[in-house]
Amino acid sequence: MAGVREWLSGRGRPPGPFRPEFWRSPLRGPWLTSVFGLVLLVGLPIVALTGLVSYAAYNPGLPGNDMTPSKGLLGFYLFDWPTSPVWLYRLTQGTHVILGLTLVPILLAKLWSVIPKLFAWPPFRSPAQLLERVSLVLLVGGAVFEFVTGILNIQLFYVFPFSFYPAHLYGAWVFLAALVVHVALKLPRLVTALRSRGFRREMRTGLRDTRPEPPDPDDLVAAAPGPPSMSRRGLLAFVGGGSLTVLGLSVGQTMDGPIRSTALLAPHGRDYGPGPNDFQVNKTAASVGVTAAQAGPGWRLTLLGARQVLLTRQELLDLPLHTYRLPIACVEGWSTEQEWTGVRLADLARLCGVAEPGGVQARSMQQAGFFNQVSLSAGQVADHRSLLALRVNGADLSLDHGFPARIMVPNAPGVHNTKWVRELDFRVPS
Ligand SMILES: Nc1nc2c(c(=O)[nH]1)N[C@H]1C(S)=C(S)[C@@H](COP(=O)(O)O)O[C@H]1N2
Ligand SMILES: [Mo]
């Protein structure tokens, strides 16, 4: 017990990782930490901003779309999501996911480089230092939380006891706030540390000439460093190589053509059978309980407007049809562009007596689940490329791609392209 009292008074230290001699890598030091820090300083804000953009793309202001109804002030920046350019969400969300994955090895390396600080003893020496450590808990905790929830979500492991959307949004703001504090406190040291050693010279220094950095005020450099088993250049190559491997195995899922088959890390596999419908499926009909019988000859599309109109699929095919190349860009980062044919949403609005639709609510035959309905804005309905699609690449939609009919809106997040539509409700005030 005497020991514990001594530790708490700051005179002694608990054993193990709380002792400086425990951490022996001669590579840890402010320069190394700053190299990883600089990469994250450029990359993480891009991941955070594209993530916030993704939330805006959901048009959470429209009824039924908001997955984080209690967002409070955090939605201050939301704006009406545009339909042009058609590739914008494909680019922002692809960047969010692929860059996020690519930064994982860098983030881990950065955490490794500062891990002795986690065990600093005494836990704090002054109120200012206590505040700094609390901000670090929020920074590291926020980053780890965002990466873990994001990665689990793209791999469809819905294992959290909370909803992904609000959690990922709240986590992003906690992380961003902590990042601002951290950068304000550490930027001068980052600059000094990076200037303390030339990057090129470090790249020419092999294992034999690898020495610890000089002792630093932050105690990143080991007190009693062991002999190096790797040069700094070797460590940077290892971490950078890991990053590039992740990038190389995932970036293909944002592209079409042969390069797509390189995306070994893409979720949902890569083979969807032969023919025009051979492209990525998010949820199959079977997985959400939509049957071929429901989609058969008995299916009717209901239009709700100034009057109610029922249409068979043949009646829809007899209306003016239009064909556009439009992407499906999933929140999970994968995307693909296909050629869709269908009836303009604006034409369907007119058919049920709504000349200037204030928007539409599309409802699916799918009974349960988050994605069985969507609200689209007036601007989205008015775009001439916004379709109730019936065909893709010249063939009827397959059941898994939404037969008999699905929404296709330019630049909308994939989840808004509702499949197996049964009802379009244009009774939305403009
Ligand atoms: N009814 C319904 N529509 C849906 C979904 C769904 O689960 N149910 N998934 C959405 C999501 S998340 C995406 S990315 C696209 C994917 O379309 P695809 O499976 O045809 O590629 O469909 C959207 N439409
Ligand atoms: Mo999606």
Whole-angstrom distance, CA of residue 329 vs CA of residue 327: 6
User: Does the domain at residues 282-425 carry the CATH identifier 3.40.190.10?
Assistant: no
Ligand 1 atom with least separation from CA of 370 = 7
Residue 190 and residue 37 in contact, taking contact as beta carbons nearer than 8 Å: yes
Residue nearest to atom 15 of ligand 1 (CA): 414
Q: Rounded distance, CA 171 to CA 165, Å? A: 10
The alpha carbon of 400 and the centre of ligand 1 are apart by a number of angstroms equal to: 9
Nearest CA to ligand 1 atom 20: 401
pTM of the model: 0.94
Report the separation in Å between the CA atom of 355 and the middle of ligand 2, taken as the mean of its atom positions: 31
Q: Which numbered atom of ligand 1 lies nearest the CA of 282? A: 19
Residue 221 has pLDDT above 60, yes or no: yes
Span 23-69, pLDDT tens digits: 999 999 999 999 999 999 999 999 999 999 999 999 998 988 887 77
Model confidence pLDDT, tens digit, residues 386-429:
999 999 999 999 999 999 999 999 999 999 999 999 999 999 88
Ordered by start, the domain boundaries in the chain are 2-254, 282-425
Q: For atom 9 of ligand 1, which residue has the closest CA?
A: 415
Rounded to 5 degrees, what are φ and ψ at 183?
-65, -40
Q: What is the pLDDT of residues 348-392, one digit of tens each?
A: 999 999 999 999 999 999 998 878 999 999 999 999 999 999 999
C-alpha distances in angstroms, 135 versus 17, 130, 142, 297? 22, 9, 10, 61
CA of 414 to the centre of ligand 2 (A): 5
Tell the residue number behind the tokens 């929404």, with chain if given.
407
Testing ligand 1's pocket by substitution, the residue of 164, 277, 279, 283 carrying the most ligand atoms inside 8 A of its CB is 283
